[in-house]
Chain A
Amino acid sequence: MNRRTGAAAFMAAALFIASGAAAQERPRISIAPAEPVRWDLAGHVGWLGSNKSDIGADWDDFYNAGLGGVSAGYYFTPHVRTDLRAAISSEGRIFDNQVVPVAGQPFPSYRTREHFFQTATVGASASYQFFENQWFHPAVGVGVELIRERHHVFSPQQFIPSRDPVPVVIPAETGSAEVSYAVRPFVTTGFKWYVSERAFLRSDLRSSFSTRGVDRFVWSAGIGVDL
Chain B
Amino acid sequence: MRTAIILTLLLSLVSYPALAQTPAPAQGDVWRVFTERLDVGSRIKVRMRDGQRVTATLIQASPDALLVQPRTRRPVPVQRVSYDDIASIERDDQRGISGGKAVAIGVGSGAGAFFGILLLLIATLD
Name A residues whose Cβ lies closer than 8 Å to a Cβ of B: 26-34, 45, 47-48, 63-66, 90, 92-93, 133-135, 194, 197, 203, 219, 221
Contact = CB atoms under 8 A, between A and B. Distances in A.
A29 B73 contact: no
20 contacts: A27-B49, A27-B82, A29-B48, A29-B54, A29-B56, A29-B81, A33-B76, A45-B120, A47-B116, A47-B119, A47-B123, A64-B122, A64-B123, A66-B120, A66-B123, A133-B73, A135-B73, A197-B73, A203-B112, A219-B116
Contacts of A194: 73
Contact of B79 (A26, A29, A203): A29
Contacts of B48: 27-29
B39 interface: no
Contacts of B73: 133-135, 194, 197
B57 to A, nearest CB: 12
Contact of A30 (B49, B79, B116, B120): B79
Please tell me the size bucket of the interface on B: 20 to 34
Nearest to B79: A29
Given A64-B119, A64-B126, A31 B72 contact: yes
B74 interface: yes
A63 B52 CA distance: 47
Given A26-B50, A219-B116, A33 B81 contact: no
Contacts of A203: 112
Given A133-B74, A133-B76, A134-B72, A31 B54 contact: yes
Interface string B100-126: 000000000000100010011011101
B126 A92 contact: yes
B85 interface: yes
B96 interface: no
Contact of A28 (B50, B56, B116, B126): B50
Given A133-B76, A203-B112, A29 B123 contact: no
